[in-house]
Amino acid sequence: MVQEQEQLTEMAVGKGEMGEIVKARTDKREYRRICAASMDVRIGSFCDPDGLEGLAHFLEHMLFYASEKYPLEDSYSKYITEHGGSTNAFTASEHTNYYFDVNADCFEEAVDRFAQFFIKPLMSADATTREIKAVDSENQKNLLSDTWRIYQLQKHLSSESHPFHKFSTGNWDTLEVRPKAKGLDTRQELIKLYEENYSANLMHLVVYGKDNLDKIQALVEEKFLDIKNKDRSSPRYPGQPCSSQHLQILVKVVPIKQGHKLRIVWPITPEIHHYKEGPCRYLGHLIGHEGEGSLFYILKTLGWATSLSAGEGDGSFEFAFFKVGIELTDAGQEHTQDIIGLLFKYIALVQQSGVCSWVFDELAAVSETKFHYQDKTPPIDYVVNISTNMELYPPKDWLVGSSLPSIFSPSIIQKVLDDLSPNNVRIFWESNNFENHTDLVEPWYSTAYSIEKITSSMIQEWMLSAPNGELHLPAPNVFIPTDLSIKNVHEEVKYPVLLRKSPYSTLWHKPDTVFLTPKAFVKIDFSCPHANDSPEAEVLSNIFTELLMDYLNEFAYYARVAGLYYGISHTDSGFQVTLVGYNHKLRILLETVIGKIASFKVKPDRFSVIKEMVTKEYQNLKFQQPYQQAMYYCSLILQDRTWPWMEELEILPHLQADDLAKFAPLMLSRAFFECYIAGNIERSEAESMVLYIEDVLFKESNPICRPLFPSQHLTSRIVKLENGISYFYPVEGLNPSDDNSSLVHYIQVHQDDFRMNAKLQLFALVAKQPAFHQLRSVEQLGYITFLLSRNDSGVRGLQFIIQSTAKGPAQIDLRVEAFLKMFETKLYEMTDDEFKSNVNALIDMKLEKHKNLREESGVYWREISDGTLKFDRRETEVAALKQLTKQELIDFFDENIKVGAPQKKELSVRVSGNLHSSDYKKDKTEPAEPGSVRIDDIFSFRRSRPLYGSFRGSFAHVKL
């Protein structure tokens, strides 16, 4: 993990001179390229042998288990987790990427353990059989996901001879049943795939550490020296995956979720071959634009679409697709031919306009500013990004990738534009309206679909009959920043300062003295008591914020393109406005947003579109993963004054534009806003912004808002569970087609306190990996298995989150208890050295510096929104950790976590999938065990329990 001095070493096997690596002007890191081995392996799911679909993905799972040098199963993950890090991997079509991060002082051993996977991994027969279940569980999680279903259907409708056609994830059938039937040993095939393909010359490694480059280079050469170079050539898959029979087709698809979507797809030459010219970036910018005159603007005006995206999609070095995705309204679903016609009309407009140098220059300018003033990202994301770039780009562009289009080439852009023709289009049209009107089924996900051929002449007819919208190219972007200077901060400010307090607002300010970028972060949180006083009010508040975003879009979209992001979101107590990005033009955007709030009027046509969109969002909540449903119920049980989405869905059909027209002035009639302004903004500018908001909303002769009465300041209160009682809430999964069950086992511990926080976080760190290993790797309960600490408005606890088809939620609950009993012994037997090592790991995690302004602001904003205001939390908790003894940790466990502890407060939310409906019936009908209490009605339960005091909502809680 990176501290003061950051170095980054990149290694690639291969020869050739290297020019200077292009890096951002603000990037002070050093880089070097040397000959060695790597972590990004140029072998992916395209290499799966026929009849063993998912083998490359399965190999990715298996490498983590053990190696000859470190044979103890899961010891790598245990080492990483116990030293403050995390580890993961992913398998793509043509490469597999393994990555980790860890505290700096443990880096050398972590690298050594990591390297062994590429030298001598152990793939034991026992682990192989168990991990097939994990791959199958991962696939079960995806079966009812429209994203996975549509992606696989696009692959299915391609040439069987091309690897794009394959099913890449794998499941029990492809990795166990079918190979056995053919007399194949999956483990032997796994070893064969590894031996034949995991060669040093197909690997690239990026190492990010705190030591100087010479030291890191020596470490890497020593640790990775023994990776075998089998001199394999990088696999290539020439040719397009779509033959003529897979083009000029209209595919009607039945999705799982409510709604309608069009995906228009064309095979193209991958942009990687022309990344300096950026043809897809240019065309995606124009076709995906949302300003006045754009395709989306016209579709939105007609009430036919709620979102549109455009750009290069799935592909490889040899092929790619240009994709346009359009979310349709019910009215748009009835006008699909017109919408396709309008899209082709816009493409024709781009053709007629010719490739414009000013559009490219504007894009290049925005890209250059973005690159040179980019935020630092977490090292784990950074190394993954660069290691994947190393195979694709020459060394000087490893950091840049495709992010700096710099060569204006009309002919290259024109070539891709010519590909976007009716002759090679594929149209995927998703809608629940097609249910029972299809005749084909995709084999892996059982997606129902049908295919119709379409011709160029049909599309010409659709273009002619489409409405005559005023389509035109975007205007020059006024939001592109030109002043990138850094303000002088005269005083060293470590934490946010309360600059101003009035009956209308509080202002917290933190100038940037760390990141020194021309960016700012502004959060304005409006507390409106009427916004949440009933389920109806909550829904209307939600529609209010969606409409505000809708009204702003054609103007403020330009700001987003220029790197100034904005959002207006509904909260439990009102709504909040967030602005993040270059500070130069931020004030213009802020004034526009506040102006839209002040002049808010309900446009009936937009109201009906947004209402329809919000209704579908509510309806689709039942298709969430079961573990997400369990987390939702857990929050509903714990959080006072929250409304169930089922009640809100019931209200929606009856709401009219007039209801919102009456509600919005009432909601705004009493308000208080809390403001946090950080970054490249001086005190006087911050104060001026808040005064502006107060003037517009509170100080007109007939003000839109009046200040809150002292009694109206809103609180965030959490239900206090009873000591020594195990509450459980059994509920059926909302989607009867979902086999997965889920459990959230929550242990409530205490209200925010530095010493208790330190104990809880240390316990979570110590128990996290053993819980994952036992419940996921050994018992194979399910792919989704987590142990996390939890914080609800300052009330702290611990939660196990498990999703499974193997066992019902009540059975999983027993396995969690069994784990805690087993772990009890491990905790008691922990050595002093192990204890100290874990404490030091947690201290290192806490002392890790914020990477960028957004991350820092998120941490400080949480203190403000929770009302805890402990801006020095990290330093104070570190001090508490340094004082902590092993016995105190054991006492903490015995009192709060241990099975049967008299002080223990626990709640299990048990969501039963259709495989475990008998568990649900049993839970609902049989008497609860002694010491257990079943929650039959969430709201009766909530009313019956005392609440923790709120940190929030006292106007006097901050003093100037």
C-alpha dist (Å) from residue 397 to 72, 276, 278, 861: 40, 10, 14, 36
Please, are residues 56 and 43 in contact by the beta-carbon 8 Å criterion? yes
Q: Report how far apart the first and last C-alpha atoms of the chain are (Å, whole number).
A: 38
Please, are residues 212 and 71 in contact by the beta-carbon 8 Å criterion? no
> Tokens standing for 731?
């509920």
Bridge partners (DSSP) of residue 320 are 268, 315
Please state, in angstroms and rounded to a whole number, the distance separating the CA atoms of residues 295 and 280: 17
> Tokens standing for 475?
């205007």
Burial class (CB in 10 A: 0-12, 13-18, 19+), 24: middle
3-state secondary structure of 507: strand
How many CB atoms are closer than 10 A to CB 716? 21
> Tokens standing for 377?
């990202």
C-alpha dist (Å) from residue 468 to 299, 327, 510, 554: 11, 21, 51, 19
> Tokens standing for 210?
């705190």
Q: What is the DSSP string of 392-432?
A: HS-GGGTTTTTS------HHHHHHHHHHSSGGG-EEEEEEG
Active-site annotation holder among 10, 53, 60, 82: 60
Residue 315 amino acid letter: G
**DSSP secondary structure letter of residue 899:** T
Q: What is the DSSP string of 94-138?
A: S-EEEEEE--GGGHHHHHHHHHHTTT-EE--HHHHHHHHHHHHHH
Active-site annotation holder among 73, 131, 362, 694: 131
Please state, in angstroms and rounded to a whole number, the distance separating the CA atoms of residues 90 and 87: 11
Q: Is 60 a catalytic residue?
A: yes
Please state, in angstroms and rounded to a whole number, the distance separating the CA atoms of residues 736 and 745: 23
> Tokens standing for 783?
């792919």
Q: What is the DSSP string of 305-319?
A: EEEEEEEEEEE-SS-
Please state, in angstroms and rounded to a whole number, the distance separating the CA atoms of residues 202 and 13: 8
Please, are residues 919 and 811 in contact by the beta-carbon 8 Å criterion? yes
Burial 919-936 (b: 16+ CB within 10 A, else e): bbeebeeeeeeeeebbbe
Please, are residues 328 and 262 in contact by the beta-carbon 8 Å criterion? yes
Residue showing tokens 């990738």: 401
Residues 6+ apart with CB under 8 A from 156: 165, 442, 443, 444
Residue showing tokens 């992913």: 90
How many CB atoms are closer than 10 A to CB 10? 26
Q: Which residues are catalytic?
A: 60, 131
